[in-house]
Amino acid sequence: MIRPSAVTAQFWSTQDHLVICTLCPHRCRIPDGSSGRCGVRVNVNGTLVLPYYGKISSIALDPIEKKPLYHYYPGNQILSVGFLGCNFHCPFCQNYSISQSTDRSTMELTPQEVVNKALAENSFAIAYTYNEPSIHFEFVTATADLARNSSLKNVLVTNGHLEKEAASELLGRMDAVNIDLKSYDDEFYRRELGGDLDTVKQFIRIAGELCHVEITTLLIAERNDSEEELTAIAGFIASVNPQIPLHISAYYPAYHYTYDGTTPEQVMRAVKIASTKLDYVYPGNIPGEANTTCPTCGNLLVERRAYQVTTPGLHGTACNSCGAQVPIVLG
Ligand code: SF4
């Protein structure tokens, strides 16, 4: 049910009785009473409104390593909020119950209430995560502005599928971001995910100018794990900055995909390939620890054990063995 009091959206125009949303490259042409592909931006009597503004599907204090961010406030907890909907339709989505449906119970919070909760939990920051938060641009930016006024940091976990102007406005408010780079094959992006690779690459380049960036690739055997594709993914990231950390996470069957889960051996092979181009590549979603070693001398810099983090090899943000600077932001 659309609330008449729903907040008006940014980034839209009208044409022939349709509302055209210009937040993301889908540029949905939305008839009266309908929503765009993401399910949360709705044409009500010729105005694009946000009936899901402030509707929170999940809110929890998480280790920041879970986002995953390994080089930003390691070992800290972060208040994490999620909403409903997504502008992708990945058939392997691990959060499909909130990303592919808007028919789920939520709690309603204002931006100030989210900030107050972060302060009450002694969180250093707010993470916008779980579903695709960028389609809730207006709530996220309002919350991020208030968070900054309260000396909190802002962290975004996203598919990076936004038009350039919105991307710059959103990323300009973020301190750190983890962006999915799900493939280096535009056909895979279009057919399987419902998105486009060039937009995601543009988003990563903008983020590289504005905030701390880490990238995640969910590794699916025989779909995005060829040596050629992994080399292309790592090469592109290196062209932005070879010190951007890349997380290569194991896929496991979820939602519509029933292919076998990715094995630890397959993940470690991918890590090895990507490490030829990048200084910091981490396995994810597999047993064992993902430590940070110095790319110059091999010294153990950061040790991670089940979200317990120590920094035996750091002196400030430099390697305590060879003195090389490490791209890490300590809390
Ligand atoms: S944000 Fe949603 S409504 Fe807007 S263009 Fe993208 S999918 Fe369509």
- Each residue of 257-293: pLDDT tens digit? 999 999 999 999 999 999 999 999 999 999 988 999 9
* Percentage of residues of the chain with pLDDT beyond 70: 98
Tell the residue nearest (CA) to atom 2 of ligand 1. Answer: 38
- The minimum-distance atom of ligand 1 relative to the CA of 137 is 1
Tell the residue nearest (CA) to atom 4 of ligand 1. Answer: 21
Q: What are phi and psi of 63, to 5 degrees?
A: -60, 140
| Calpha distance 217→94 (Å, rounded) | 14
| Calpha distance 244→247 (Å, rounded) | 10
| Calpha distance 72→302 (Å, rounded) | 12
Higher-pLDDT residue of 42, 16: 42
| Calpha distance 123→274 (Å, rounded) | 33
Q: Which residues line ligand 1 (CB under 6 A)?
A: 21, 23-24, 26-28, 36-38, 41, 87, 135
Per-residue pLDDT of 102-149, as tens digits, reads: 999 999 999 999 999 999 999 999 999 999 999 999 999 999 999 999
Q: What are phi and psi of 72, to 5 degrees?
A: -140, 115
Distance 150 CA to ligand 1 centre (A): 31
Distance 229 CA to ligand 1 centre (A): 28
- Whole-number pLDDT of residue 1: 45
| Calpha distance 169→158 (Å, rounded) | 14
- Whole-number pLDDT of residue 289: 80
Question: How does residue 199 score in pLDDT terms, banded at 50, 70 and 90?
Answer: very high
Looking at every residue in the chain, the average pLDDT score rounds to 96
C-alpha distances (whole Å) from 48 to each of 30, 238, 301 are 9, 39, 49
In testing the pocket of ligand 1, which one of 21, 100, 137 has its CB within 8 Å of the most ligand atoms?
21
Instruction: Look at the pTM and tell me if it is higher than 0.95.
Output: yes
Q: What are phi and psi of 312, to 5 degrees?
A: -65, -25
Distance 189 CA to ligand 1 centre (A): 16
- Whole-number pLDDT of residue 307: 87
- The minimum-distance atom of ligand 1 relative to the CA of 24 is 6
Instruction: Say whether pLDDT at 20 is over 80.
Output: yes
| Calpha distance 186→25 (Å, rounded) | 14
Distance 116 CA to ligand 1 centre (A): 29
Write out the two tokens for 163: 């038009």
Domains and CATH numbers, the chain: 7-50 (no CATH), 55-287 (3.20.20.70), 291-331 (no CATH)
Distance 109 CA to ligand 1 centre (A): 23
